[in-house]
Amino acid sequence: MTNYIVCLAHFCELHGPTVIICTQITTKKFLKENLLSSNSRLANCLSCQLILPNSSVNLTTPIENNNNDGKKEEEEPKVSVSTHYPASSKRYSALTKLVMKSLSVETTSELSKPMFYGDAINGYCINQIFKIEDINARGGERKYSLMIVSDDEFELLNNWDILQMYLNEIIELIQKKVIDWNQRNEVSSKFNADGSVKNGNVLDNERFLRRSLNKPRSLTELTNDDEIFVKLHLLATELLKDINK
C-alpha cells in the first residue's frame, strides 16, 4: 500500500511554516507507533496548535475492509490516524521540509490551482495554498497550505483529479465557515449592548484597534467551530480511503 499523508499547514507569523494536523492510514498492529503521547504537545502559539475536543491528542477512525475479491486471507484491519505531526521522526523531518517549500519557496500565481513538487528523498506532494480573512493577522489574512504527500510519484499524479476535488471541498469548508463567522461578527459589532446602532466614529476606532492587535488565533476560533479539526480528520480519512482502494 502506498504511503500517503494529508496535511494542513500554515505560515505562522511567530514560528514560520508549521504543520497543524496530518492524517495517515496505518494498521491496528502499528497503531501505537503512530500515536502521540499526551506529553508530546509542542509549545506553539494558538495558530499552530491542534485543538481537539476533550483535550485529545490523537484522532482515530477504523476503516472497514471492503475486500470483495474472494480472497480467503483477511487483510490487516486499518485505522485512520490524525495527529499534530507524524510520530515517526523520519516522516516528521521529510514533511517539515515539504511544508517549508510549500509556504516559503514553491508558489503559483493562481491560488485556486494545486501545485506538484518533491523528490525521492522527502516524498512527493500535491498542495494548494489558500487564505482566510482575519482582522487580527498581519495584512488582514492568514495563509494555509493543504497538502497530500506520498512516497510514490506515479500513484500521486495518477490520483490528481480526485485529490483536486477533495482539496477544493476541504478548503471551501474552512473558508465558508470563516466567512460566515466574520459576517456575523460584523453585523453584531454595529450595535451597542442595548440594541442601539453605534455611530461611525466608534465603529472605525474599534476596527482600527482590532487591526493593530496582531495575535495568534486557532482555526477553532476563526471558524467558531470546536470540532473543525474533527471534520478535517473525517474528510481526510475519506480521501485516503478513496485513493487506497
Give the distance, in angstroms, between the CA of residue 89 and the centroid of all CA atoms in the same chain.
20
6 within 8 A of 21, measured Cβ to Cβ: no
pLDDT averaged over the chain? 86
Pairing mode, strands 16-27 and 59-63: unpaired
**72 falls in which pLDDT band (50, 70, 90)?**
very low
Cell of 245: 482502494
pLDDT per residue over 79-102, tens digit each? 999 999 999 999 999 999 999 999
Burial 138-154 (b: 16+ CB within 10 A, else e): eeeebbbbbbbbbbeee
Q: What is the pLDDT of residue 238?
A: 96
Residue 195 has pLDDT above 70, yes or no: no
> What are 126-172's pLDDT values in tens digits?
999 999 999 888 888 999 999 999 999 999 999 999 999 999 999 99
Distance of CA 151 to the CA centre of its chain: 20
Whether the pLDDT of residue 15 is over 60: the answer is yes
CA distance 150 to 63: 19
Share of the chain above pLDDT 90, in %: 65
Lowest mean pLDDT among 15-24, 51-60, 199-208: 199-208
Residue predicted with more confidence, 25 or 213: 25
- The model's confidence at residue 201, banded by pLDDT at 50, 70 and 90, is low
Q: Does pLDDT of 191 surpass 80?
A: no
Quick one: average pLDDT of 51-56?
A: 93
